[in-house]
Chain A
Amino acid sequence: DSGVTQTPKHLITATGQRVTLRCSPRSGDLSVYWYQQSLDQGLQFLIQYYNGEERAKGNILERFSAQQFPDLHSELNLSSLELGDSALYFCASSPREFSGNTIYFGEGSWLTVV
């Protein structure tokens, strides 16, 4: 158990809909990362937050957004969903922003768009 908690574990929704994925980082971790794992594109970095502020953006679509709240949990919002958005979405956390410490992953949220 990495200590990173993601909900829901599985989600099935229709095209055009909007979903929210939630992540609770490990206790004490200030940095939260979101990754997307799909069959055709592998593991892709989406976005990072540090202590409530956005720090880096990767290959995140404009239809997607995220935020980190004062209690450090984070949410990834996916809207106008398309079939190609079906993927495993990982949240990860690390203690500080500028260190060699390990990034720990949650078990992921499986999203299926039908």
Chain B
Amino acid sequence: GNSVTQMEGPVTLSEEAFLTINCTYTATGYPSLFWYVQYPGEGLQLLLKATKADDKGSNKGFEATYRKETTSFHLEKGSVQVSDSAVYFCALSDRGTERTARQLTFGSGTQLTVLP
């Protein structure tokens, strides 16, 4: 079955530091990959996505590249801000077939705290 392994947290960084949160996956076929973010007390928000190999998703200064050869989708940001403090979830979605439904499989989440 599908699975997502995510770098364990919590991660604490100083403002303007470089961020990497590792994510690797196991899936059959060609899944779509996502990063979702959950700010304190809020729901899940889509941060970025990539739907095929070598695609780069980007949003709000965050980037992640779909690496099929290493089955990875690591999240990076060059200079984090206090407002980036949140829980980050890596996820994959298979494309579904006529017999199986499409589902999101999530990693365990990584808590990021950015200190001023």
Contact = CB atoms under 8 A, between A and B. Distances in A.
Interface of A: 2, 31, 33, 35, 42-43, 45, 48, 50, 55-56, 58, 88, 90, 92, 94, 97-100, 102-108
A28 to B, nearest CB: 17
Interface of B: 32, 34, 36, 42-46, 49, 51, 89, 93, 95-98, 100-106, 108-109
Prevailing SS type, chain A contact patch: strand
B45 to A, nearest CB: 7
Contact of B49 (A2, A31, A48, A102): A102
A2 B45 contact: yes
B101 A97 contact: yes
A33 B95 contact: no
Q: Counting chain B CB atoms within 10 Å of each CB, which of A35, A43, A50, A55 scores highest?
A: A43
B87 to A, nearest CB: 10
A105 B37 CA distance: 11
B101 A103 contact: no
